[in-house]
Amino acid sequence: MTSCDGTGVCQDGGGASCVECAVSGPCFEVTDTCQTSMDCILYNDCTQNCGGPGCEQDCAEKFPEGAKLFFALVECVVCQACPMDCVDLDNGFCP
């Protein structure tokens, strides 16, 4: 368990969640890398505006570097920093 995990809240947007702790703490570098990469931003925007796994694959093909950075961020937050609090987000993604 990391210092962020164990809040009982994966993400709530209120600043007291494991995700908020992770992106400003142990996952800060990968968060910053993704947030400052146009490909990562475009990949995230693309997936937010599509309708499912097929579309997400299309986004990954359009923005491969962005997908790589985005999944590094997800792995850091969900799998490493918040494995207990965000177990519902795992969906088989974490090793």
Q: What integer is the mean pLDDT of 79-94? A: 86
Q: What integer is the mean pLDDT of 75-84? A: 94
Domain locations along the chain: 18-89
Residue 75 pLDDT level (bands cut at 50, 70, 90):
very high
Q: What is the 3-state secondary structure (H, E, C) of the chain?
A: CCCCCCCCCCCCCCCCCHHHHHHHCCCHHHHHHHHCCHHHHHHHHHHHCCCCHHHHHHHHHHCHHHHHHHHHHHHHHHHHHCCCCCHHHHCCCCC
Q: What integer is the mean pLDDT of 9-35? A: 91
Q: What is the pTM for the complete model shown? A: 0.88
Per-residue pLDDT reduced to its tens digit, 42-59: 999 999 988 767 788 999
Q: What is the pLDDT of residue 13?
A: 67
pLDDT at residue 36 is higher than 70: yes
